[in-house]
Homo-oligomer: A and B are copies of this chain.
Amino acid sequence: MQNLEGNKWYRGRERLFVAVDCVIFGFDQGVLKLLVFKRAVEPLKGEWSLIGSFIQEEENANEAAKRVLKEITGLDDIFMEELKTYSKVDRDPGARCVSISQYALIKIEEYDKELVEQHGAFWFAVDSLPSLVLDHNQMVVDALEHLRHKVQFYPIGFELLPHRFTIPQLQSLYEEIFQKKLDTRNFRKKFFSLDLLNKTTEKDKSSSKKGAYLYQFDLKKYNTLQQSGFNFLLLKK
């Protein structure tokens, strides 16, 4: 980093605390959940909060968020994107602090349950969240809105499902995200027409006698299609 002495441009400018906060979604048995965190330290000890961190010297915002996610869940290599910046002057009564929210979609059966417990983190259904500190409830509302929009145009739903999943699981994910029942026949027709699912020969019999075939999302095919101007667009209405 360059020596700033004598550089009028930076001299006297305010510097702010800059944090990231992670909105971590999981999909558990038909329910969309969020990982929230009971603060063990002051300030705001004992209150529910998203998981966050100040940005450190040697990392950018996304790296900070990934670091936090790794610390809490043990998970690496997760779908995570910046959402929005929260910069209201008084949003944090402790100090002037800007927070960059990042949302993550995780496969709920893969995270390290012990680690999560150690960090005082819990899963809540998104529709029955407790009151969170600062503007964290707003962050969740914004993240949900974004998720609902984005999931229609990009195949990110798979990030919330196991590597192999059934069509009923996939449908229930979309039903949960859109808060709307979908027709089985039309859902399948639509999804199969996209030609992005590979059927395996195995069935998941955990929720029926007949069992439902397991499928995998074909990311390579998607990438190829997308490059040629393909539109994922799942639901019109």
* A binding-site residues for B, Cβ under 8 Å: 1-2, 4, 7-10, 13-18, 41-43, 54-62, 82, 84-85, 87-89, 93-96, 98, 100, 149, 153, 231, 233, 236-237
Contact = CB atoms under 8 A, between A and B. Distances in A.
The list of the 8 closest CB pairs from A to B, nearest first, reads A15-B15, A61-B87, A60-B87, A13-B54, A16-B18, A60-B88, A10-B95, A85-B100
A56 B4 contact: no
A87 B58 contact: no
Contact of A94 (B9, B82, B100): B9
A163 to B, nearest CB: 29
Nearest to A101: B85
A59 B85 CA distance: 13
Contacts of A100: 85, 87
A8 B55 CA distance: 16
A93 B7 CA distance: 12
B17 A95 contact: no
B59 A89 contact: yes
B85 A85 contact: yes
A233 B237 CA distance: 10
B87 A85 contact: no
B16 A95 contact: no
A14 B57 contact: yes
A55 B1 contact: no
A87 B18 CA distance: 10
Contact of A85 (B14, B61, B231, B233): B61
A55 B87 contact: yes
A216 B100 CA distance: 37
Contacts of A16: 15-18, 55
Given A8-B41, A60-B89, A85-B85, 5 more contacts: A7-B94, A16-B18, A18-B18, A18-B87, A82-B84
Most chain B beta-carbon neighbours within 10 Å: one of A1, A236, A237: A1
A234 B41 CA distance: 50
A13 B17 contact: yes
Contacts of A59: 89
B8 A56 contact: no
A230 to B, nearest CB: 10
